[in-house]
Amino acid sequence: MPHRDPNLLGRFIERYVNRENPGDERFAAFSRAYVDNAASDNDRAALADLGRGDALGDGFSLYVNAREHYGAILTITREGAAVLGLSIDDPDGSPRVQAQARALIDQLCAEFSSPAGCAGVELAPPQSRQEWEDDGLVQIRVGELPREAP
C-alpha cells in the first residue's frame, strides 16, 4: 500500500493474523503504534529492533503467525508505505502453489486497495521503493506503484 492506513492494517490483522498466538511479542507494540496510534516509548524501542540495521532508514518487517497461511508479514517501509504479506508453504515448488500465490496477490490487492503486489521464493518484503523495484527474487509481479512525487 503506498501509504500506511491504520484501518487497512487493522483489517489485515483481523482477517489474517493469529491474534491469539501471534508468535512475536512485538505484535502488540506494532498494533499500538500503527493501528491504534497509541505507541509508548517502549513500543517504539521494541519496533526499532526489527530493522535490518543497515543504516538506510527505519523500515522494518514483523513476521507473525497467520490464521490460515504459513505466516503473515507486516512491513513499514522507509518511505512510510506498508507491505502486507502472507507466506505459503511450498516445499516442492509446485505450479499449483504458484497459481495460488498469484490468486492470493490479486485477492489482497483488491481487498486492501493496493495498486501492486509481488511474490517469490524466500522473498524478503521490500522495506523501501528501491527494494520493491529490485526484481532479483521476484517471480510474480502484479500492477504498478504510483510514481513518486518529484
Q: Residues 26, 112, 82, 120: is their CA dihedral positive or negative?
A: positive
The CA-based angle 23-25-27, given to 5 degrees, is: 85
Residue 12 within any structural domain of the chain: yes
Residue 34 within any structural domain of the chain: yes
Expressed as residue numbers, the domain containing 106 is 6-143
Q: Which of 103, 9, 27 has its CA nearest to residue 65?
A: 27
Q: What is the pLDDT of residue 149?
A: 47
Residue 31 within any structural domain of the chain: yes
Residue 75 within any structural domain of the chain: yes
Residue 101 within any structural domain of the chain: yes
Residue 148 within any structural domain of the chain: no
Q: Residues 31, 76, 74, 27: is their CA dihedral positive or negative?
A: negative
Beta strands in 1-150 (DSSP E): 60-64, 71-76, 82-87, 116-119, 140-143
Residue 3: which pLDDT band, with cuts at 50, 70 and 90? confident
Say how many C-beta atoms besides its own lie within 10 A of residue 121's C-beta.
11
pLDDT, tens digit, 9 for 90 and up, residues 36-84: 999 999 999 899 888 776 555 678 999 999 999 999 999 999 998 999 9
* Model confidence, pTM: 0.89
What domain count does the chain have? 1
Quote the cell numbers at residue 113.
486497495
Residue 15 within any structural domain of the chain: yes
Residue 48 within any structural domain of the chain: yes
